[in-house]
Structure formats: C-alpha cells, structure tokens
Amino acid sequence: MKAWEKEVIGLGNQRLGTEHAANPYGFQVMSNLMRHGKYDTGFLGEYGKELVKVDKSFTGGVNPGHHWITMSHSDLNFGDENDRGNDPMTGFMEALGHNPEAATEFFYSKEGVEGEKSNLDYLLQERDWPHDSILGADSEGKAGHNSLGHALEAAVTGHPYDRPPNGSTPPHSAERAAVMEDVVSLVSKDPEKAHAGMADSLGRMAAEYMPDIHHALVGGGSEMENLYPHGESTGAHFNSSDITRFLYEVGKDPDGYAAVNYGQHIYTSEIINYHFSSPDSYGRSTEDTLKEVAAGGGQIEGIIGEARRNAVVEGAIESDKEFNDSLASGGEWAKAAIGIGIGVGVASATSPVGGVVAGDSAKAISGAIIDGIVEGFEKDTKDGAVYRSGLDKSEAEESTTSVIRNAAVKADEENPSGMSRADLEALVRDGVKDGIGQANDRIKDNVPTGGESDE
C-alpha cells in the first residue's frame, strides 16, 4: 500500500482541523471523494476494514450510522438532496460499486471485525443506516441503502453497477456466487432487509443469476445442467423456498419487478433458441424441452406477478401504473445486457453458459422480445401490449404466454423443429399454465403474507 493510502486510513477517525464543513472526519471526506472512479482493490480492502471497525466502535446509546450525522452535519456531497455525504459508509459503498473485485472480497469475508458479524451481515442486517437528507427533502428511503445495493450488485455480477455486463465480464466465481447465496438467504428470512432503494439492484442481481434460479425452482438434479447450463460460471445454490420469498419480495417493487421480468424473458428466449439449435443437448424431445422451459419461465413470472398484484392491492404501491413505467424505462438496461451471458444473455465464450448460444441469433431474438415488451407501453391503446395490467391474473398469464410463444416461433424460424405452429403454441401455453400454478403453490407454502389474490 502506498504511503498516502496509509495516511488517509490513519486520518479516517480524526477530525481534519478545518473551519469548513463542520470540521469533518477523514473518513467523511475520503468516502465522498471515492464515489467516482475506480480505486485500488487493496486500498479499498484496508480502508473498508478500518471504516467498519471504527463504525462499530461507537457505543453509549448512539447508533453507529447516526454518529456521523450528529457529530458532523454538513454538506459534503452536492447535487443529491437525499445524500449530503455525512455518512462515510455511503460513499464507500459507491466505491465498491465501481470495483467488483474489491466488492466481492469485502462481502465474501466471513471474518467480520474482531470475531463479530461479517461485513454483509453487519451492513444488511444490523446497521441502522441514517437519513442524510436536506431539511424538507421528500425521501422515503435512505441513500445508504441504495449505495449498499450498488456495492452488492458489483460484488455478485463482476461488473460495475452502473455499466451493463459486456464481453469482458468474467464468469461468476465461487466467491461471487457465495455472496449471492447469502443475500438471497438473508432477504428471504427477513424481507425487511430488502430495504427501500435496493430493489432495483436486487432485481438486476437476480436477472444475472437466472440459470441458478431456474435450477432451484425446477429441481431435477444434475440433468438440469443440460436444460439450464451454467457454462464456465460457478453455480449459486439456492433453497427453493428462499428463492421464492426473495423473488416475491423483489417483485413487490416496480424496478425490481421490471429487472426480473426482463431477465427471465431474455434468458428464457435464449435458452429456447439454444435448444432449438441443439436439439440433442437435453436428451429429450424438442417438444418436451420447450414445455419445460416455458414452465420455468411461468414459475418466475407467477411469483413476481402475484407480488405485483398484492403490492397494489395492499397499498404498498399506489398504482399499477408504477410497474408499467418501470417496464417502459427498464428496456434500455435490458437491451444493453443482451448477448453477454451472465444470466440475461448467452453468447460470449466468457459467459456463464460458455457461449452455448449463437451470438447473432440469440441477440436478434432477445432484442425482438424486449422491443415487443417496451413498445407495448409506448402505445396509446392496450392492443398488442403485454404486462399492462398486473391486477388481471388472466391477462398476466396471457402476457407471459405471448412473450415466450414469440420467442419460440422465432427460434423455430431459425432452426425448424418440424412442429406445427398450433402444437408449438399449445406447448408454450400449457407449460406457462403449469408454471404459474406451481408458483401459486410455492407462494402459499412459503410466503407468510402471500397467497393467491382474489383479483
């Protein structure tokens, strides 16, 4: 470590002796500087250890997160009325969000500080993140939770949170998969840990772990690797009950719902294309394979669809239109993620599926699927639009069927299977119906406040 880096860490818990900005601590200043750009992995590791150690040392009835606010309340971060920059943990999380290697190391560590909880446990479960907004700001969440989501997103995906995955994004390592497993487990056990402001990141994280999610929900043992291949990535192993609760919780948020919806449809579309182009890869008929894949997609859409409905019915979300708006705006992220593997696309040799899907045809099919979803929300009428009403269960099922059917038709055009159009459509419809039925059963069995709505 360079001398200046050691000095910066050493000054972290000291006031800087200035008349400006309420004489802030070193950690407060440095954490705001590191919000932008990519800082050295080793430096971030040592900085984080010391920051967490100091943060946890505050006692005397003052919550660690609030210590920074009460002891030095000033403006250190400009341009965000909900984040004045007083909590140094927030800026540090942004720095991790731009350095995936450092983020993975930080959250993978099981040591904790002085034998206490791990960094993930402490920051996601124990720490009471403070409000750090200007007086009168309209803030339902806390900026720190949003930044924590960014750091976790980088940790489990291998790319900065504010850049889509690309051809150089590495496969999921064992460490990244382990962090994702821990996040899913913690949120599933206590849904309140999916803090306001984190659902968009949690949704994108889920979208990039679609093979693993399908494995957990569909089951079937080792043969599932032939149906939903991981390629070069280390698989994350989720408990089916845990992933059901996790998806349900994320699906209650419009941005989380949109990310999972797009991730599922892109992945399902490209897996269908893979099996049509490689009909012997699973060892079953193309007809059976198509129905199974459609059922897997139906399960995920059934879980997040029920979450969407209940969020509106129970008043957690004011209007179903918020979900539509998130689907409309989320298309740009989805388009950027096409064709690179990592769960939402399957083309590059370094992707989690090892390039098992031909790049051009996979991209074309997925691009058409996204366009079909997005364009529906750009129309003034409901004609041709999908997922426009989350409250209508039959319409939601028809939307899932329509999108997966279109993917199958396009795959069949690229690699003719010999199926009639009527048979293909029937297989997709039956598969989706089976999957949604399984999703409803999972929700009844695993979500304490869930259950099939009457709407």
Q: Does 453 score more than 70 pLDDT?
A: no
Distance in angstroms (rounded) separating the CA atoms of residues 147 and 134? 18
pLDDT level of residue 342 (50, 70, 90 thresholds): very low
Instruction: List CB contacts of 147: < 8 A, sequence separation 6 or more.
Output: 90, 91, 93, 94, 97
- From residue 379, alpha-carbon distances to 209, 327, 332, 376, 383 in Å are 31, 13, 17, 6, 8
Instruction: Find the range with the poorest average confidence among 180-194, 250-264, 341-355.
Output: 341-355
Give the lowest-confidence range in 8-12, 242-246, 398-402, 449-453. Answer: 449-453
CA distance 358 to 273: 9
pLDDT score, position 186: 97
Phi and psi at residue 320, to the nearest 5°: -60, -20
The crossing angle, in degrees rounded to 10, of helices 286-313 and 393-414 is 150
Q: DSSP letters of 66-130?
A: HHHHHH--S--S-S-TTB-S--HHHHHHHHHHT-HHHHHHHHH----STTS--HHHIIIII--PP
Could you report the per-residue pLDDT of 223-282, keeping only the tens digit for each? Answer: 898 999 888 889 999 999 999 999 999 999 999 999 999 999 999 998 999 999 999 999
Q: Which residue is associated with the tokens 């989805």?
A: 334
pLDDT reported for residue 401: 96
pLDDT score of 62? 64
**Residue 154: how many other CB atoms lie within 10 Å:** 31
Whether the CA torsion 229, 337, 150, 143 is positive or negative: it is: negative
Label residue 173 by pLDDT band (50, 70, 90): very high
Closest CA to 68 of 123, 13, 136, 149: 13
Lookup result for tokens 């795959």: 411
Its pTM stands at 0.91
**Angle 427-445-227 from CA coordinates, rounded to 5°:** 35
Instruction: Look at residue 359 in the predicted model and tell me its pLDDT.
Output: 59
d(CA 128, CA 124): 9
Least confident of 184-193, 223-232, 346-355: 346-355
Give the helix/strand (H/E) hosting 324: helix 321-336
Please say if the pLDDT value at position 337 is more than 90.
no
For residue 290, give Cα distances in angstroms to 157, 166, 358: 28, 28, 18
Phi-psi domain of 229 (left: phi exceeds 0; alpha: psi -120 through 50; beta: other) = beta
pLDDT given for residue 356 in this prediction: 43
Q: Determine the pLDDT at residue 161.
A: 96
Q: Distance between CA atoms of 82 and 426, rounded to whole angstroms?
A: 50
For the cut 70, the answer to whether the pLDDT of residue 132 exceeds it is yes
Whole-number average pLDDT of the chain:
85
Does residue 307 contact residue 241 with C-beta atoms inside 8 Å?
no
First to last CA, the chain: 60
In the predicted model, is pLDDT for residue 106 greater than 70?
yes
Work out the number of other CB atoms within 10 angstroms of the CB of residue 23: 13
pLDDT of residue 38: 96
Confidence of residue 11 (pLDDT cuts 50, 70, 90): confident
DSSP state of 25: B
Q: Cα–Cα distance between 268 and 262 in angstroms, integer? A: 10
- Report the pLDDT value the prediction gives residue 455, as an integer from 0 to 100: 47
Average pLDDT over residues 326-330: 91
pLDDT digits (tens, 9 = 90+) for 361-417: 667 778 888 888 887 655 444 455 678 777 889 999 999 999 999 999 999 999 999
Which residue, among 332, 19, 341, 317, has the nearest Cα to 162 in the 3D structure? 332
Tell me if 120 sits within 8 A of 107, measured CB to CB.
yes
Given this model, what pLDDT does residue 69 score? 78
Q: What is the pLDDT of residue 373?
A: 84
User: 86, 28 in Cβ contact below 8 A?
Assistant: yes
Fill in the DSSP letter of residue 193.
Answer: G
Q: Where residue 354 falls among pLDDT bands split at 50, 70, 90? A: very low
pLDDT at residue 443 is higher than 50: yes
pLDDT at 370: 87
125 Cα distance to chain centroid: 18
pLDDT of the residue at 270: 87
Going by the DSSP 8-state scheme, the letter that residue 389 receives in this structure is -
pLDDT band, residue 297 (cuts 50/70/90): very high
Distance from the Cα of residue 426 to its chain's centroid: 32
| Residue with more model confidence, 138 or 418 | 418
pLDDT band at 73 (very low <50, low <70, confident <90, very high): low
Mean pLDDT (whole number) for 419-441:
98
| Residue whose token pair is 């995906």 | 157
For residue 447, pLDDT beyond 70? yes
Ramachandran assignment for 37, one of left (phi > 0), alpha (psi -120 to 50 degrees), beta (any other): left
* SS3 assignment, position 191: helix
Tell me, what's the pLDDT at 222?
A: 81
pLDDT at 103 over 60: yes
In this structure, how many other beta carbons lie within 10 angstroms of the beta carbon of residue 436?
25
Give the model's pLDDT for residue 333. Answer: 85
